[in-house]
Amino acid sequence: MARILVTEEIAETGLDQLRQAGHTVDVALNLTKEQLVEQIPGAHALIIRSATKVIPEVLDAATDLIVVGRAGIGLDNVDVPYATKKGVMVVNAPQSNILSAAEQAMALLLAQARNVPQAHTALVNGKWERSKWEGVELYGKTLGIIGLGRVGALVAQRALAFGMVLVAFDPFVSKDRAKQMGVQLLPLEEVMRTSDFISIHLPKSKETTGLIGKEMLEIAKPGMRIINTARGGIVDEQALFDAISTGKIQGAGLDVFESEPCTDSPLFSLPSVVVTPHLGASTFEAQDKAGVQIAEQVQLALAGEFVPFAVNVNAAEASETVRPFQNLAESLGKFIASLNRSLPEELNIEYQGALAEDDTRILTLSVLKGLFGTGTNEPVSYVNAPQLAQDRGLTIKETTSTTAKDYVNLITISCGTHSVSGTLTGPKSEPRLVMIDDHKVEVPPADNMLIVRNDDTPGRIGVVTTILGDAGVSISSMAVGPSEEGNTALMVLTVNSQLSPQVLKDIEAAPGIIYAHLASC
């Protein structure tokens, strides 16, 4: 089993889950960079939160690292491109704190509207200041949501309950989807001009750093209040200080800062600014969910299975339609590699039927994982399979068709002179190979398969089975399919053990045999 290095405090629920799976969990908190470099060799997984810096020096020292797991959402402390280059999967727990983050945004929204922290501070200091801390109602006010993802959507849902008018900026959300949520999509500038409050729910990136800066604050509706529970640096803190100081912006509720931990800022001197020390995910429930979720993701990565929250896998989360086909796609990749005997220059993948209407990128990754898992000596994952294809000059062509001739769904892979098609059949959606090199067959994938193409003349089956019998090889199952032209036939045999090179040579040398290949899928 794997060695898992944990360098920050994670909920024991998640750690216990990893131990129960048989993994060794080494907890080493508060490591310096030098100590982490010393500890990382031999670790198959590294679990962190926000403090540990996973930089190239650390990744270079990792001799066996398969996955880095961040118990939370943000990945500012992980060099994801370098990890991808090294073939290391990076996963996070994006759904663990969405409720807590949304509730924190609402808490700051209410604190801003009603001046709760300021009134509390005054009262405990002996001042009864009812008129000074008069607030505003949320009802009827316009809330601009910048980023309508998971957290933004939950904030919208809760703000609707307060009777707020909702507008939003998010170029990756359709108008129909926003309309279903009771939100009107607008350009960012228009959101700034019309909103009484804005709440920010964007990831920090090159494009979003400084997004709410001097220009945006100048066009903002006078008296706007700004809530940021997303990431520090999206709001230009100096520009915000200036805008509040001049009265253009009424106030702000900030849970995140450009540099953290932040214990000193000009914004702290402004009475209309409410601040908290990055508490968005700081609930018992969120921390427990983060620990459990990251443990699940790490276990999947270590098992070589699809990891839904791998951030450096270039595929959307697999849908309910696509997910059952992942193992089949990987099996087809293994099979075509076995059949072709070498890495092809071009790989054609065709998705037919209802499957073609969905996002099939993860299935293409599964095919590549199977293909390279058969033909390379290095570990292959959903992360490094595309890089392996690029490094080896493999051209991948994908086509889709919503109609399939004989099946509801069909995946066909072809390269060179070989092709294989597969589908799922029956009430249990069992995988089947249904076409090999234009010969119709129906066989389940297996570890040891013998594929024999021969002249369609009497006695060929007897020749092959006699050679296998003389070698003491037992046949578990067998299917025979003629070609459409009728001049050749294909035998697919599942055998109980790997065949020796000599047995394979004897079969290939027999009269009427065109080829004999061993396959595994």
Q: What are the per-10-residue average pLDDT scores of the chain (521 residues)? A: 94 94 95 96 95 96 95 87 89 88 97 96 96 96 93 96 96 78 95 98 84 96 97 96 97 96 95 96 90 94 85 68 90 89 84 90 90 66 77 85 86 92 92 92 91 92 94 91 84 88 92 90 80
Q: Which one-letter amino acid corresponds to residue 287?
A: Q
For residues 353 and 403, the answer to whether their CB atoms sit within 8 Å is yes
Listed in order, the ranges of the chain carrying CATH 3.40.50.720 are 3-95+285-302, 98-275
Give the residue numbers annotated as catalytic, written as ranges: 231, 260, 278
Listed in order, the ranges of the chain carrying CATH 3.30.70.260 are 445-521
Residues near 286 by beta carbon (within 8 Å), at least 6 away in sequence: 96, 97, 99, 100, 101
Helices 361-375 and 326-340, interaxial angle, to 10°? Answer: 40
Work out whether the CA dihedral 53, 56, 61, 67 comes out positive or negative.
Answer: positive
Task: Determine the pLDDT at residue 213.
Answer: 96
Task: Determine the pLDDT at residue 376.
Answer: 57
H/E stretch holding 517 reads strand 513-519
Task: Determine the pLDDT at residue 378.
Answer: 55
For domain 98-275, the CATH class is alpha beta
CATH topology of domain 3-95+285-302: Rossmann fold (3.40.50)
CATH superfamily for 314-436 is: D-3-phosphoglycerate dehydrogenase; domain 3 (3.30.1330.90)
CATH number of 445-521: 3.30.70.260
Q: What backbone torsions phi and psi does residue 500 show, to the nearest 5 degrees?
A: -75, 155
Task: Determine the pLDDT at residue 406.
Answer: 82
Listed in order, the ranges of the chain carrying CATH 3.30.1330.90 are 314-436
CA dihedral 323, 84, 56, 308 (to 10 degrees): -10
Q: Report the C-alpha gap between 366 and 336 in whole angstroms.
A: 13
Q: Report the C-alpha gap between 349 and 465 in whole angstroms.
A: 33
